Structure 1
Amino acid sequence: MNDQAQFVAALLDPAQPCPAQLTSWNEAQPSRRFAVYRNNLIGSLVDALADGFPVVQQLVGEAFFRAMAQVFVRQSPPRSAVMLDYGADFPAFVEGFEPAGGLPYLADVARLERLRSRAYHAADSPALDAAALAGALAEPDRLASLVFQLHASVAVLASRFAVVSLWAAHQGLLDITRVGPYGAESALVLRHGLEVEVIGLRAGDATFIQGLQVGMPLGRAAERALDEDPAFDLSVPLAQLIRTGVIGDYHYATDRHRI
């Protein structure tokens, strides 16, 4: 192990000694200064996770969250100087963190919070002109072959748990005492203007939007949604996408026409 790797390993593991190569310009012991630096580093990374996953912290309490986050930080230090990316694999870590096993919904709440952060920082792109979109939707013979390009902030989370309700309750939008965490819910996450929205979806609506995200034509995505939910109503998710301005472009599956 080279000197740099040894330094990083010692920073993340309090059981390791201060690197022998460190010296001090004054009488202070290098080991004491290194311990302060180590504590500050780990503390700042834990703070970053707490900022990114506030509902997860509220669900487990600050002490438990910080202890869990410290384990994560030591296992998964930043791989980039861009801290916006840090914590992307925290939900998967939470899912496998044995002390949190009594809260099986915690990982999906973390996934929802991560999608919100991703949506907030997604690149800007213009919404499709309303007249152009109306013209495309007014051609019934070609409607099924429409392929939409959605804004980069758009994401769908289909969960076995009540992630939308849990998140909303911690924003003061629902009474937490009335929220049961074990009912399946799906969430649509997107940025509308400068605001990130979390919208509850029926299972069929979630399937439909997921289909659009991977480039399915409108007709095929609607067929999959109907297989999921016979009560699927195309107008509902389509109206949500239009209202929030996240349809950026379209083409037809048959001729690759683009506006």
Structure 2
Amino acid sequence: MQATVSNREFTTALSDPEKPAPEGIRGQDGKKSAKRFDIYRNNVVVGLIDALGDIFPAVARLVGEGFFRDMARLYIRANPPNSPLLFRYGRSMPDFLETFEPVAHLAYLPDVARIELAWLDAFHAADTSCFSAADLGAVPESELDDLRLTPHPATRIIRSRSAAVSIVSATRSGAGLADINPTAPEDGLVTRPVLDVQLRRLPPGAAVFLQSLVDGACLADAAEAAERDCAEFDLPLAIRAMLESGAFSQRGEEA
């Protein structure tokens, strides 16, 4: 099959089964190849649906496999891929879910998708050592307030207005959702300290604390920001979560 059409025209037709094959599509014999194009288009769309299912397994389980595949077809039609790297596809899925009326009753679904994208990013992030409890213990007490840290490449912080963290954890592990209040706001941390991606629910205020550190704040300023944001903030608990998760890789540059 040969094509004498623009990349844009070809990509648009490829992702929308209701569009006819572009006029410039020809077979080796120079004749129109609409049937072959339809077969190729179907194979491409099925491949993209499968890729989305791999990227968003929790979303697929929450809505059901059949519904997810139908929804994915609509997503692909509205959002054709712009990169040959399949693992980079689906970046706009959370925004798509925000406006997709059939799942409007599942208010947590967009944040579930955001966590799954963070999970994928963490999986593909660069390897490096983690800042440990021993590293923290080696910092002189007089320097603790001014301590700055470099975030691990896999670190992602999620703030959700729903119980998306608990829902993703339960769905990926095969646990039930009966004991989860889906409307309870949660903060989450995605990391990959060794080989496996980890998702943990953060204690109150810890997301602000960790995000401040990621943004370059020193330990004392990050703690103050968390305390202003949340009266329940527990600094030792937040530091414990930071160290256990491997959220940072090393000391940052002093200001």
Q: Same fold (TM over 0.5)?
A: yes
Greater CA drift, 211-220 or 59-68: 59-68
Match of 1:249 in 2: 250
Shift of the alpha carbon at 1:97? Answer: 1.4
| % identical aligned pairs | 36
Deviation of 1:94 (Å): 1.1
* Correspondence 1:63-212 to 2 at 5 A: 63-128=66-131, 131-136=134-139, 138-139=140-141, 141-172=142-173, 174-212=175-213
> CA-to-partner distance for each residue in 1:135-155, whole Å, 9 max, x for gaps?
21x42x322211111101111
2:51–2:87 contact (8 Å) kept in structure 1: no
CA drift at 1:134: 1.8
What is the alpha-carbon distance in structure 1 between the residues aligned to residue 252 and residue 55 of structure 2?
A: 36
The answer on 1:47 being equivalent to 2:18 is: no
Task: Name whichever of 224-233 and 126-135 sits farther off.
Answer: 126-135
Question: For residues 148 and 249 of structure 1, what CA distance do their matches in structure 2 show?
Answer: 6
2:138 counterpart SS class: helix
- 2:5 match: 3
Q: How many angstroms apart in 2 are the aligned matches of 1:129 and 1:185?
A: 25
| Aligned residue pair count | 251
Cα distance, 1:129 vs structure 2: 6.8
Q: Residues of 2 paired with 1:70 and 1:159: CA distance?
A: 27
CA deviation profile, 1:29-76 (whole Å, cap 9, x unmatched)? 711111111111111111100111011011111122112211211222
Q: Which runs of 5+ in 1 are unaligned?
A: none
**1: distance between equivalents of 2:176 and 2:65?**
21
Partners of 1:142 and 1:198 in 2: how far apart?
30
Separation (CA, whole Å) in 1 of partners of 2:170 and 2:103: 20
- Separation in structure 2 between the aligned mates of residue 172 and residue 19 of structure 1, nearest angstrom: 45
d(CA) in 2 for partners of 1:246 and 1:45? 32
Q: Which moved more, 1:241-250 or 1:36-45?
A: 241-250
Q: Could you state the TM-score of these two structures normalised by the residue count of structure 1?
A: 0.89
Q: Does the Cα contact within 8 Å between 1:203 and 1:228 map onto a contact in 2?
A: no
